Amino acid sequence: MKSFKNHLSLVVALVSILFSIQIFTIVERSIDAYKINLAKNYSLVVVSKTILKQDILLKNIPLVQTINEIAPDGVIKRLNVGISKKNTELLKKTLPKFYKLKFYSYPSPDELRGITQKLKDIKAVTKVETFENTHHRTYRMLLLFKTLVSVFSICVLVVTILLIFKELKIWQFQHNERMSIMGLFGAPTWLRSAVLFRLAIVDALLASALAFILFVYIASNQWILEQFYNIGISVVIFDMRDDFLILSGVALVVSLLLATFIVLGHKEEV
């Protein structure tokens, strides 16, 4: 029973680590998906004296997805009071060119500054309208959300690491005696620590399995899926292959490190 409790405390600690890692991953994915969503509704307007070579712009600013010229017809229509067709055509030619730039993903303020600078460096460009205030507000909200979740994840990680250190002391106490006795009968270090490493691997696999069940449930939970649908994004909550491999890897590394610390900290009884 005591041994089961000790197993449980390490497994719980490992599951907490895996939980915070996966939550952080989900938030990262959600923010990325939300940025793509925001990018669909965000565009930047460039005013140029001459026609801009679109292929060069696309090449120089990789984040730009499309460049569309805004037809001046609407403006001319409003001015069109007794102007002949010939003069209207002439006016069209003399009016500056307006372009709407769309992006693959929502640019960060730094990226936006860089893009603006690159556009302003083009001699023909007279104005770049970024709708900076709205953009920055939205971006700051995203950052705030991400920071809050990161702080939460870090707190869980710190608490878990403290739990694991407590576990380390219990394990050290438990396994030192067995390792010393085995040592007195001539067992080499690998054999003395074999039980410990086997336990560490079993606990890591148990924790990975529990995390797998937990996230498969979360990923199929209708309420959670609806929340993502409501904010207009679709996110992979748990990739059964890639995410599971990452989580299992983390669990194994943490518990094997724990076992290694115990083996390294083992002192022979005199």
Partner 1 sequence: MDKVIMAEKLSLAYSKDETIINKVDFSINSGDFVFITGASGSGKSTLLKSLYGALKPKEGSLIVGGVELNGVSSKKLNFLRRHLGIVFQDYKLINEWNIEKNIMLPLIINGYDKTVTQNQVDSLLRHVKLQHQAGKFPLELSGGEQQRVAMARALSHNPILILADEPTGNLDEYSSQVIWNLLEGANEQLNTTVIVVTHHIPETMNINYKHYNIEFGELREVI
The CB density around residue 36, as the number of other CB atoms within 10 Å, is: 14
Residue 199, token pair as written in the block: 């336990």
Instruction: Locate all alpha helices (DSSP H) within the chain, ordered by sequence.
Output: 2-41, 54-60, 73-79, 85-94, 109-120, 132-184, 189-220, 222-230, 242-264
Residue 91 CB neighbours (<10 A): 15
For the chain, what is the total number of helices (H) and then of strands (E)? 9, 4
- 187 forms part of the interface with partner 1 (CB under 8 A): yes
As measured in angstroms, the least distance from the Cβ of 191 to partner 1 is: 7
Under the binding rule (CB under 8 A), the answer on residue 264 touching partner 1 is: no
Please tell me what DSSP assigns to residue 149. H
**Pattern of binders to partner 1 over 130-169, x per CB under 8 A?**
----------------------------------------
Here the tokens at position 209 are 């399995």
Q: Which stretch binds partner 1 (CB under 8 A): 66-74, 112-120, 124-132, 180-188?
A: 180-188
Q: Which stretch binds partner 1 (CB under 8 A): 58-66, 67-75, 104-112, 171-179?
A: 171-179
Binding of residue 269 to partner 1 (CB under 8 A): yes
| Interface region with partner 1, contact rule CB under 8 A, candidates 51-59, 134-142, 186-194, 204-212 | 186-194
What's the CA gap between 152 and 19, in Å, rounded? 11
C-alpha 199, offset from chain centre: 33
Strand, helix or coil for residue 266 = coil
188 binds partner 1 (CB under 8 A): yes
Beta carbon of residue 243, minimum distance to partner 1 (angstroms, whole number): 35
Least spacing, CB of residue 186 vs partner 1, in Å: 3
Closest separation between CB of residue 156 and partner 1, Å? 32
Asked if 263 interacts with partner 1 (CB under 8 A), we say no
Cα dist. 200→6, 69, 203 in Å? Answer: 12, 63, 5
Is residue 191 a contact residue for partner 1 (CB under 8 A)?
Answer: yes
Give the interface with partner 1 as residue ranges (CB under 8 A). 3, 174, 177-178, 181-189, 191, 268-270
